[in-house]
């Protein structure tokens, strides 16, 4: 028994010794691996704000020279003057300000050709305001992939940098160009004019309330989301630099069908975009759109989304909703329908009429029908004697909307106070509104 116990003790001691041996011999290896991840050798440490110019040289393209203007904005000065994409340039500067490698491949390299660094595949000359110049060289991809060789011209070390690091600084001319066709500020737009097929539509923006209004052909309520979407597509319009060459684009524009001319105005002035459509045919499966801008030289293919947005009539931009209170809970609602009258007031979440509390669900059903009243078209005439009169007060009395509704054949016409425009309403929407008004009732009594 003692011998058996002794053998068990020896076995346990042997296992513990093995575990201790394993842990002691594996800790340094793990520690070394962590250190290699945490301590990636730095290639460059720069103050991005101190960089004044970038000279990008690729083996297969003309050098690109970027210079920072006194305003702080970057400009492309070579191979020819272009506006620069400030966001794209900022991305390059951000990558350069703290450029780390994955590892040092060789401390004192003597044969740079084996790394694709003599001559380099890509060279980036970085000038700072203290006249200091750094030359970053990038060569071939590493055999295992996921990285590329890189070095500074003033440093004998060769590094391996991650492929995403290479991509963040190795940019083409098209990557760095400002591809906007209109350079106005979206947030500062005050006017949009859309001229198409003999129709001139002008939108004005009230910056105090951030609301768009139709000014031409006559003052009308605008659909805010529709006009905002047009403004976004215009200010987002980009050159398709990967598409047709310059001559093909110019030819397509010259032979295209004029679609629309858009003029946009902000505090810097007015810019114009002429858009033409090339119809689909035997040699072309889909419609294509080309644009000429007053802000940049040249003619460019543009995205079809903008073309479709410009191919829109006046009624598409009009506000079809009869009321503007939207999803704000009204404070008061007044309805006169022949001999019937409803005077609703809200206190907190409760609705009252003639001093009597109403069932909230039935009132909300009625208010939902008010919100849903929308025109399906806009006739020019036909409004007769009104059958219904509605007044909705919201925003604690700041907004008061008054609407008259008259019968028109089998449907209805509506008119807002102080507006000449008429709204055609379906008979179903008005009938449902009156039915919802009649169904408003006091809350159910407990126990019944």
Reported as a single tens digit per residue, the pLDDT across 182-211 is 999 888 999 999 998 878 999 999 866 678
Strands (E), 303-383: 332-337, 340-347, 350-353, 356-358
Looking at the structure, do residues 92 and 197 belong to the same domain, yes or no?
Answer: no
Looking at the structure, do residues 313 and 339 belong to the same domain, yes or no?
Answer: no
Point out the domain boundary residue: 260, 288, 317. 317
Looking at the structure, do residues 202 and 279 belong to the same domain, yes or no?
Answer: yes
Point out the domain boundary residue: 176, 201, 236. 176
Say if residue 222 is exposed, middle or buried (CB neighbours under 10 Å; 0-12, 13-18, 19+): buried
Check residue 241 and give its pLDDT: 81
Check residue 36 and give its pLDDT: 43
In angstroms, the CA 282 to CA 268 distance is 44
Burial 372-399 (b: 16+ CB within 10 A, else e): ebbbeeeeeeebeebebebbbbbeeeee
Looking at the structure, do residues 196 and 303 belong to the same domain, yes or no?
Answer: yes
In angstroms, the CA 278 to CA 286 distance is 9
Structural domain count of the chain: 3
Domain assignment present for residue 327? The answer is no
Looking at the structure, do residues 109 and 140 belong to the same domain, yes or no?
Answer: yes
Check residue 1 and give its pLDDT: 46
Check residue 22 and give its pLDDT: 39
Domain assignment present for residue 325? The answer is no
Check residue 170 and give its pLDDT: 96
Which positions of the chain have pLDDT values less than 50? Answer: 1-2, 8, 10, 12, 15-16, 19-38, 446, 448
Looking at the structure, do residues 132 and 256 belong to the same domain, yes or no?
Answer: no
Looking at the structure, do residues 245 and 348 belong to the same domain, yes or no?
Answer: no
Looking at the structure, do residues 276 and 249 belong to the same domain, yes or no?
Answer: yes
Check residue 209 and give its pLDDT: 66
Domain assignment present for residue 27? The answer is no
Point out the domain boundary residue: 129, 152, 176. 176
Looking at the structure, do residues 192 and 172 belong to the same domain, yes or no?
Answer: no
Q: What is the maximum alpha-carbon separation in the chain?
A: 116
Domain assignment present for residue 8? The answer is no
Domain membership of residue 354 as a residue range: 332-438
Domain assignment present for residue 326? The answer is no
Looking at the structure, do residues 61 and 159 belong to the same domain, yes or no?
Answer: yes
Q: Please tell me whether residue 395 adopts helix, strand or coil conformation.
A: helix
Check residue 40 and give its pLDDT: 80
Which residues, 6 or more positions from 204, have their beta carbon under 8 angstroms from its beta carbon?
190, 191, 212, 213, 215
343: its two tokens? 């005077």
Domain assignment present for residue 80? The answer is yes
Domain assignment present for residue 447? The answer is no
Looking at the structure, do residues 287 and 372 belong to the same domain, yes or no?
Answer: no
Looking at the structure, do residues 104 and 145 belong to the same domain, yes or no?
Answer: yes
């Amino acid at each position: 028994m003692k011998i058996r116990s002794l053998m068990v003790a020896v076995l346990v001691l042997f296992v513990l010794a093995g575990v201790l041996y394993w842990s002691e011999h594996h800790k340094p290896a793990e520690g070394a691996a962590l250190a290699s991840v945490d301590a990636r050798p730095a290639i460059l440490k720069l103050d991005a704000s101190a960089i004044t110019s970038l000279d990008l040289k690729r083996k297969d393209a003309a050098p690109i020279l970027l210079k920072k203007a006194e305003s702080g904005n970057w400009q492309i000065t070579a191979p020819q003057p272009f506006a620069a994409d400030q966001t794209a340039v900022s991305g390059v500067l951000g990558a350069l300000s703290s450029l780390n490698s994955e590892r040092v491949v060789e401390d004192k390299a003597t044969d740079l050709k084996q790394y694709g660094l003599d001559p380099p595949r890509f060279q980036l000359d970085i000038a700072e305001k203290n006249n200091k110049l750094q030359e970053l060289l990038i060569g071939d991809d590493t055999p295992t992939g996921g990285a590329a060789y890189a070095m500074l011209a003033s440093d004998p070390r060769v590094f391996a940098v991650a492929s995403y690091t290479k991509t963040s600084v190795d940019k083409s001319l098209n990557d760095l160009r400002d591809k906007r066709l209109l350079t106005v500020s979206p947030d500062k737009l005050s006017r949009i004019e859309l001229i198409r097929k003999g129709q001139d539509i002008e939108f004005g923006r009230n910056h105090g309330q951030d609301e768009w209004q139709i000014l031409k052909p006559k003052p009308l309520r605008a659909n805010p989301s529709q006009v905002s979407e047009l403004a976004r597509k215009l200010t987002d319009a980009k050159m398709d630099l990967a598409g047709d060459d310059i001559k093909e684009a110019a030819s397509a524009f010259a032979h295209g069908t004029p679609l629309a001319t858009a003029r946009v105005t902000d505090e810097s002035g007015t810019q114009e975009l002429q858009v033409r459509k090339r119809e689909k045919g035997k040699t072309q499966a889909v419609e294509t759109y080309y644009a000429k801008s007053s802000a940049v030289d040249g003619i460019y293919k543009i995205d079809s989304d903008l073309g479709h947005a410009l191919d829109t009539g006046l009624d598409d931009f009009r506000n079809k909703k009869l009321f503007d209170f939207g999803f704000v809970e009204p404070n008061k609602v007044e309805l006169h329908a022949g001999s019937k009258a409803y005077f609703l007031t809200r206190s907190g979440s409760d609705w009252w009429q003639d001093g009597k509390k109403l069932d909230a669900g039935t009132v909300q059903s009625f208010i939902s029908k008010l919100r849903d009243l929308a025109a399906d078209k806009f006739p020019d005439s036909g409004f007769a004697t009104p059958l219904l009169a509605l007044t909705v007060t919201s925003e604690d009395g700041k907004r008061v909307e008054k609407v008259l509704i008259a019968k028109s054949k089998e449907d209805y016409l509506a008119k807002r106070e102080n507006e000449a425009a008429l709204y055609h309403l379906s008979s179903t929407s008005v009938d449902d509104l009156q039915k919802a008004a009649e169904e408003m009732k006091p809350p159910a009594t407990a126990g019944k």
